[in-house]
Amino acid sequence: MWRSIGCADTVRGWVYALAGAAWSLPPVAVALVVTAGVARSWPAGLRWVCFGAVFAALLAVGGRPRAVRAWCVRLANRLLRTGLPAPVASLGAGPRDLVRTPAWLALHMAVGWAVVAVTGLLGMTAAVLPAVWLGGGERIALLGLSVRVAGGRQGGWAPLAAVGCLAAAAWLCAGAVTVLRWAAPALLGPRPAERLAALEERTRLLAGRNRLAQELHDSIGHTLTAATIQAAVAAELMDREPEAARRALSSIEESSRSAMDDLDHVLGVLREGKAPTAPQHTLGDLRALLERVRLTGTEVHADLDDDWARVPAAVSREAYRIVQEGLTNALRHAHRAPVTLRVAVTGDWLEAEIGNPMGGHALGLTRPGRRGQGLTGIAERVRLLRGEVSAGRVAGGRWRLVARIPLRSAP
């Protein structure tokens, strides 16, 4: 019982009821003033009708702004723990909200006055009974009832009655919370259009997070692969070509710093839940990427266009990642085998082709039995842009990856 009296839900429920009672004071005062001025000479019944009509009109007007409904949702979530989603700002208030929000305000105010009035009476009774009993006893009047509280053993029921009053007040608050929680989804919950908008927003958020995960996989995967190879090269050249070893170590430092920047950016976006705003790599960064690959000791023969002006930004970003992942796979599975790369605009298509011999030295960076995500990520990127991709063994014992992306399919 004492746990019910002091539990957080009971306290929050009483505070929420007090807020409803307090919020009702301005419209009640205005309705009383209007009724006194307009219907002063009317019969008592008509005056009450006038008061109710003015009060309902004030609630209808006060519940119309979207900010009022948003405030009601926030307060209910904070004090009643209802977990309602915030109203979608872009949709505005719907026709049903013009009825639902005033209905919620009326319920909140009615429950608030009932809880505040009854708990106030019960609390006062719980304070008076023990005080009179400890003072030697006397007759007291409660709600028109005259009760004599005797002193000593004969009035020993007074403390028990006080405890009962506190328990009743706590149970009343708990009951009010239950009623309001039950009504909140119907009166404050999202309407179908808001549910659809929230679902679309969540879909966009998940798609963005999946894209960030793919970006992180490509960036970190390429960096770790290149750094592993460069570290091996540096170890081999440390004694006979120290200058080349230093260049390899410097490249490891530079690529690792770039990967850390990418990691910090992605983690920041995931924490804040915002769309990525940092600039991303495009086809214009391919030559720098090839230089980092060549520092691993891998020979790369590249045939690149010099002008990417015709390539849309989205295609350029995705093509860079496709080439990066293709080169990473070549480093992993055919280290030190010469790699050929061709990226060119042919008609209305951007074509990227990567090839390497199958007989190279595999680094063993992928765990046995674990399927890599590189080709899967490449296929997803190309499919989103309505392109074509093929990868596999070709004549001459070579592996070839070809991706074709239409230039006019960029979102």
Chain Cα centroid distance, residue 174: 31
Give the separation between CA 203 and CA 197, rounded to whole angstroms: 10
Query: Is there a contact between 116 and 18 (Cβ–Cβ < 8 Å)?
Result: yes
Domain parsing of the chain, residue ranges: 2-190, 196-406
Residue pLDDT, tens place only, 61-79: 888 888 888 889 899 998 8
Candidates 375, 281, 369, 368; CA nearest to 325 is 375
Compute the average pLDDT of residues 340-365: 79
Q: What's the predicted TM-score (pTM) here?
A: 0.52
Q: Show the 3-state SS of 212-228.
A: HHHHHHHHHHHHHHHHH
d(CA 152, CA 139): 14
Q: Name the CATH topology of 196-406.
A: Heat Shock Protein 90 (3.30.565)
Average pLDDT over residues 153-168: 85
Portion of the chain with pLDDT greater than 90, in percent: 10
Model pLDDT, residue 365 = 45
Given this model, what pLDDT does residue 92 score? 58
- Report the Cα 407 to chain-centroid distance in Å: 34
Instruction: Quickly count: other Cβ atoms within 10 Å of residue 152's Cβ.
Output: 9
Average pLDDT for the chain: 78
Please tell me the predicted confidence (pLDDT) of residue 129.
85
Q: Strand 398-406 and strand 349-357: pairing?
A: antiparallel
The percent of residues in the chain predicted with pLDDT above 70, rounded, is: 74
Banded pLDDT at 109 (limits 50, 70, 90) = very high
pLDDT tens-digit readout, 29-47: 998 898 888 877 888 888 8
pLDDT, tens digit, for every residue of 230-249? Answer: 677 677 767 777 777 777 67
Q: Which of 1-15, 108-122, 156-170: highest mean pLDDT?
A: 108-122
Strand order across the beta sheet in which 300-304 lies: 300-304, 339-346, 349-357, 398-406, 388-394
pLDDT exceeds cutoff 80 at 396: no
CA distance 317 to 221: 17
Cα-to-chain-centroid distance, residue 217 = 22
